[in-house]
Amino acid sequence: MTPSLKKSPKIENACFKLITEDKEEVLISELAMKHSKFLTDFVSNFGFSPSVNGEKNPIQIQKVTGPTLKLIVKWCEHHKNDPKIREMDYCKVTAEWDQQFLQMDNEVMFDLVRASNFLDVRILFAISTKTIATWIKGKNSEQLRAIFGGTPSEKSEEKRKNSVGNNEKRRKIE
């Protein structure tokens, strides 16, 4: 369960313990945690410090489930030694490892996006939303509904044909 940690000079295995909604525990090192603005703010507000196996001050994370949190921690740990890059630069070319990392099912991806939004992991949020955007690109609405779910209603059928509001898009196709 313990992710491979870079040994902190002072305390061995210094990290924080995150407890999710479904009672799973995930350990995250301080350096990796820097990626999550939510966690860094949380920790600084409460004055927590890393401890062995995070026993001292476990942090409850409300809205995230275990598997998703593990994924996020995995990404953060992998990137914990990254120098500070501007989000825009990072998005231009996605690293090899990240591409591999982002190969996942739709549902898992949506959970990841929601969790990275909640935990405010900006870079991960940007690249995962970009991935979802590439799924959307070039598909018509039926295909999108198949992937993402959603029910067409009569209203939207009518909208598709008639509505003035949609005209600019309808005419794009014609």
Partner 1 sequence: MTENNEETIVPDEQCNLTSSTPMKSSDLENVESPIERKISIVECDGEGNPPIESSEETPPDLTSHSVAPRRRRSPRRPEVSASRLPLKVLNQIFQYLSLKDLRSAMLTCHSWNNALSMEDSDIWQQLLVQKLPEAAHSDPFLFVELRSARKKLRAWYFAWNTNDISRNNYIRTNGFTVHRQPVAQSTDGVRGKRGVSQGVHAFDITWDGPLGTVAVVGFATKHAALHCVGYIALLGSDDQSWGWNLVDNVLMHNGVQLGVYPKMNNPPKYEVGEKIRLVIDCDMHVAYFERNSEFLGIAFSHIPPLRLFPAVCAVYGNTEVTMVYVGSPQMG
- Yes or no: say if 18 and 70 are a contact pair by the CB < 8 Å rule: no
58-97 footprint of partner 1 as x/- string (CB under 8 A): ----------------------------------xxx---
169 touches partner 1 (CB under 8 A)? yes
The whole-angstrom distance between residue 167's C-alpha and the CA centroid of its chain comes to 35
Please spell the DSSP secondary structure of 103-170, one letter per residue: ---HHHHHHHHHHHHHTTBHHHHHHHHHHHHHHHTT--HHHHHHHH-----HHHHHHHHH-STTHHHH
Residue 134's nearest CA partner among 112, 173, 106 is 106
9-48 footprint of partner 1 as x/- string (CB under 8 A): ----------------------------------------
Q: What residues from 108 to 167 belong to the interface with partner 1 (CB under 8 A)? A: 109-110, 113-114, 117, 125-127, 129-141, 143-153, 156, 159-160, 162, 164-167
- Yes or no: say if 127 and 88 are a contact pair by the CB < 8 Å rule: no
Q: In terms of CB distance, is 6 or 169 closer to partner 1?
A: 169
Measured N-to-C along each axis, helices 106-118 and 122-136 cross at an angle, to the nearest 10 degrees, of 150
The residue count for binding partner 1 (CB under 8 A) is: 57
Q: Which two tokens stand for residue 63?
A: 């809205």
Q: In terms of CB distance, is 11 or 147 closer to partner 1?
A: 147
| Chain contacts with partner 1 (rule: CB under 8 A) | 92-94, 99, 102-107, 109-110, 113-114, 117, 125-127, 129-141, 143-153, 156, 159-160, 162, 164-174
